[in-house]
Amino acid sequence: MRRSDIRPQPSNKLLCIKGNMKIVSIIIFALLSGCATKSIELDYTLSEQIFSPFALIQIAPTFEKPIEYELTQHEPYVLFYSEYDGKGGYNWGKKVKTTRIDLSEEQHIKAVELLKACLTTLPQNDHSLGPDGTTWVLETRAFQYLKTIIWEPEHETTERGYSGLIELRNYLNQLVTEGSK
């Protein structure tokens, strides 16, 4: 046998390292792919929040038509008021009316101030529930993204800490009434 015919055989250590390298490469690829996918999902969620309303209040009485107030953040300052044809506690139905109210800068500032005041006093542990009544949904990006569901904030309003929310709704309702004339 000639020396050139003898090829060095890889040791078991070398085979083990090569096998591990393949496994490590696959794991790194999987991790990077997972991170890229998660990043795309995060970007989509963030873009949804950027273009969502600055504040949205939905009011759904159990046996009456639901309504919602939607406040924009940037100029032109607009408040949208919408009504649905269903029942709040059951099927909301279709949006049958949307009214656009153009706001002055002063009106918008006041609405935002009321919203922020409401958020600073919003209770963190309200466990009030009932079989019927009005359910409110408050969604906003004023300080950070927040979405909360409140049962009947007009029930024991002061004791439960919802005076600011009621004041905000009353002001938005006043703007709708004045803007509809």
Q: Please, are residues 64 and 145 in contact by the beta-carbon 8 Å criterion?
A: no
pTM score above 0.85: no
Q: Are residues 109 and 168 in the same domain?
A: yes
**pLDDT digits over 115-153, tens only?**
999 999 988 888 787 778 899 999 998 888 889 999 999
- What are 13's two structure tokens? 């250590």
Q: Are residues 18 and 86 in the same domain?
A: no
Between 12 and 178, where is the model more confident?
178
Q: Which residues of 92-108 are buried (b: 16+ CB within 10 A; e: fewer)?
A: beeeeeeeebebeeebb
pLDDT of residue 133: 85
User: Can you tell me the distance from the alpha carbon of 138 to that of 118, in angstroms, rounded to the nearest whole number?
Assistant: 11
User: Can you tell me the distance from the alpha carbon of 166 to that of 159, in angstroms, rounded to the nearest whole number?
Assistant: 13
Q: Are residues 16 and 95 in the same domain?
A: no
Looking at the DSSP bridge assignments, the partners of residue 135 are 60, 151
Helix (H, G, I), strand (E, B) or coil at 90: coil
Evaluate if residue 18 carries a pLDDT over 60: no
- Is 1 among the domain residues? no
- Is 2 among the domain residues? no
pLDDT of residue 66: 95
- When divided into structural domains, the chain yields a total of 2
Between 180 and 156, where is the model more confident?
156
pLDDT of residue 74: 86
User: Can you tell me the distance from the alpha carbon of 78 to that of 5, in angstroms, rounded to the nearest whole number?
Assistant: 85
Evaluate if residue 160 carries a pLDDT over 70: yes
**pLDDT digits over 55-69, tens only?**
999 999 988 999 999
Domain interval for residue 30 = 9-50
User: Can you tell me the distance from the alpha carbon of 87 to that of 136, in angstroms, rounded to the nearest whole number?
Assistant: 14
Closest CA to 179 of 106, 71, 101, 109: 101
Q: Are residues 70 and 38 in the same domain?
A: no
Q: Are residues 98 and 163 in the same domain?
A: yes
Q: Are residues 64 and 27 in the same domain?
A: no
Helix (H, G, I), strand (E, B) or coil at 37: helix
For the domain that residue 175 is a member of, what is the CATH number? 3.30.1560
